[in-house]
Amino acid sequence: MARRFWVETLGCPKNQVDSDKLTGTLLGDGLVPADAPDAADLVVVNTCAFIEEARQESIDTILGLADRVGDRAELVVTGCMAERYGDELAAELPEVQAVVGFGVPVHLGPTRTRERPRLDLLNLPRPAPRAPWAYVKVAEGCDRACGFCAIPSFRGPQRSRSVPAILGEVETLVEGGVREVVLVAQDLAAYGRDQGQGERRIVPLVEAVAGRVDRVRLLYLYPSDLTDTLVRAIGSTGVPYFDLSLQHVSRPLLRRMRRWGDGERFLRRIDAIRGQLPEATFRSSFIVGYPGETERDHDQLLAFVEAAQLDWVGFFAYSREDGTYAADLDGAVPPEMVHERLAELRELQDPITAARRDRLIGSVVEVLVDEPGVGRSHREAPEIDGIVNIPATLPAGELAKVRIVAAAGPDLDAECV
Ligand code: SF4
């Protein structure tokens, strides 16, 4: 009987892509998916090491699965925790049979002792898509050195995939029924810089992907790389969705974060894009409580949030990460102050998001039906933003025009037109 496997995924969309590729490899090796971890012979936990909370969740998941499967299954830990704390994990978790980072020989085959080739995870095949949308990872690693971020230290410098490899994956996904491709990378707009082909390879890539699939969406754009040509390219895809990685708006604090820009520049850019693309939707995320964040910095962020009227915003408490530049900075912000600032920001943003959703009532939008009853227009990224509740009669995978009739917080209700 074929060996059965279970893959448990934690963390961000980029991890989900890795898990899909691991699944594709396991299927290619002749394993079959199990219905539950208890029924598997091989259990893989794809971990997240982004912040302390994510690491704890990863450890809890590993221990929970170890309890659940006992000696009946081989337990393998991979992903960011394995890359960042591989030796410690292997030493401290005897329940785990193997800890494997990506880009090393991965022992996930029918027997653990069999030598397997070095796997290039970025270019592994993936299984048939489960939804009419899919993430496609175009690069791994990052060449920047943002003060708070440990990713470059364990994911390494940026390694972009070749255009033919990406387009090949997009074509296979489209054949499998995918109508929206979400391009992801740690620093998406820097795609291709490491290939020696010069800057801005992202623009022809976006155009080429847009020529093969109905929708292409870009996640994680560093603001200095949002050039006019990239804005035009995004506009011409029909999905004017801008996920800007801003992190803060105070110039001195951004410099302490070793990042580019300031609130005024960001506002000018956002206004210009709105002038060019009235349907543009903006998402961003901000770190609250970075070492040295003053009351003045916080006030600037509040003023920016009010002025920018972004559609979707995530506010996150700063998390001190070993080995980062910020880990040794002075000026730690007391946790209770961080919570107060977070609450104040969220209180300000929530009605802005709701008002921007309310404004859509009465309009006709095109949605991609993710599953019966659930759709998304260009304004909603999958798994991150709100949704559009649609009539259940619309079949999954269809692009349909619907009229928005109500809004409830981040979600909208729509009827067929
Ligand atoms: S651009 Fe993103 S991944 Fe790269 S160092 Fe900065 S925060 Fe980390």
Candidate from 74-83, 116-125, 231-240, 248-257 with smallest mean pLDDT: 116-125
Q: pLDDT tier at 194 (50, 70, 90 boundaries)?
A: confident
In this structure, the residue with its CA closest to atom 6 of ligand 1 is 146
Dist CA 325 CA 376 (whole Å): 39
Give the distance, in angstroms, between the CA of residue 218 and the centroid of all CA atoms in the same chain.
10
Closest ligand 1 atom, residue 155 Cα: 3
pLDDT surpasses 70 at 50: yes
More confident position, 93 or 287 = 287
In this structure, the residue with its CA closest to atom 8 of ligand 1 is 149
Q: pLDDT tier at 117 (50, 70, 90 boundaries)?
A: very low
pLDDT surpasses 80 at 236: yes
pLDDT of residue 109: 45
- Helix%, strand%, coil% for the chain, nearest 5: 40, 20, 40
Three-state SS letters, 348-400: HHHHHHHHHHHCCCCCEEEEEEEECCEEECCCCCCCCCCCEECCCCCCCCCEE
Amino acid found at 351? P
CA within 13 Å, CB half, 170: 29
For residue 149 and ligand 1, the question of a CB distance below 6 A is answered with: yes
Give the position of tokens 């996150």. 316
Closest ligand 1 atom, residue 187 Cα: 1
- Exposure of 156 by Cβ count < 10 A (0-12 exposed, 13-18 middle, 19+ buried)? middle
Is residue 370 within 8 A of residue 133, CB to CB? The reply is yes
Q: Output Rg (C-alpha) for the chain, integer angstroms.
A: 22
pLDDT surpasses 60 at 120: no
More confident position, 88 or 311 = 311
Which of 149, 316, 318 has most ligand 1 atoms within 8 Å of CB, for mutation? Answer: 149
Structure tokens at 413: 């209700």
CA within 13 Å, CB half, 215: 29
Closest ligand 1 atom, residue 150 Cα: 8
pTM of the model: 0.85
Which of 144, 154, 194 has most ligand 1 atoms within 8 Å of CB, for mutation? Answer: 144
Q: pLDDT tier at 104 (50, 70, 90 boundaries)?
A: very low
Mean pLDDT score, 22-49? 89
Structure tokens at 322: 């070993």
With CA atoms as reference, report the closest residue to 249 among 315, 340, 189, 184: 315
pLDDT of residue 17: 82
Q: Are strands 411-416 and 374-376 parallel, antiparallel or unpaired?
A: unpaired
pLDDT tens-digit series, residues 54-91: 889 999 999 999 999 888 898 989 888 888 888 888 88
pLDDT of residue 54: 86
Which of 14, 80, 138, 146 has most ligand 1 atoms within 8 Å of CB, for mutation? Answer: 146
For residue 225 and ligand 1, the question of a CB distance below 6 A is answered with: no
pLDDT tens-digit series, residues 320-336: 998 999 999 999 999 99
Measured in Å, residue 238 CA sits from the centre of ligand 1 at 27
Dist CA 358 CA 362 (whole Å): 9
More confident position, 403 or 128 = 403
Measured in Å, residue 259 CA sits from the centre of ligand 1 at 9
More confident position, 351 or 198 = 351
- Exposure of 176 by Cβ count < 10 A (0-12 exposed, 13-18 middle, 19+ buried)? middle
Candidate from 114-118, 162-166, 192-196 with smallest mean pLDDT: 114-118
At residue 412, what are phi and psi to the nearest 5 degrees? -125, 155
pLDDT of residue 140: 87
Average pLDDT taken over every residue of the chain: 90
For residue 286 and ligand 1, the question of a CB distance below 6 A is answered with: no
Give the distance, in angstroms, between the CA of residue 320 and the centroid of all CA atoms in the same chain.
21
pLDDT of residue 339: 98
pLDDT surpasses 80 at 13: no
pLDDT of residue 123: 67
Q: Which residues are CB-contacts of 384 (< 8 A; sequence separation ≥ 6)?
A: 283, 312
Other beta carbons within 10 Å of 377: 22
Dist CA 33 CA 48 (whole Å): 22
Q: What angle do CA 138, 139, 141 make, to 5 degrees?
A: 155
pLDDT tens-digit series, residues 332-391: 999 999 999 999 999 999 999 999 999 999 999 999 999 999 999 999 999 999 999 999
Mean pLDDT score, 148-154? 89
Is residue 173 within 8 A of residue 220, CB to CB? The reply is no
More confident position, 84 or 237 = 237
Dist CA 320 CA 148 (whole Å): 7
pLDDT surpasses 60 at 297: yes
DSSP 260: -
Measured in Å, residue 98 CA sits from the centre of ligand 1 at 28
pLDDT of residue 390: 98
Dist CA 9 CA 21 (whole Å): 12
Is residue 342 within 8 A of residue 313, CB to CB? The reply is no
With CA atoms as reference, report the closest residue to 273 among 282, 262, 264: 282
pLDDT of residue 156: 86
Q: pLDDT tier at 198 (50, 70, 90 boundaries)?
A: low
Distance (Å) of CA 281 to CA 187, 227, 333, 353, 400: 20, 17, 32, 11, 20
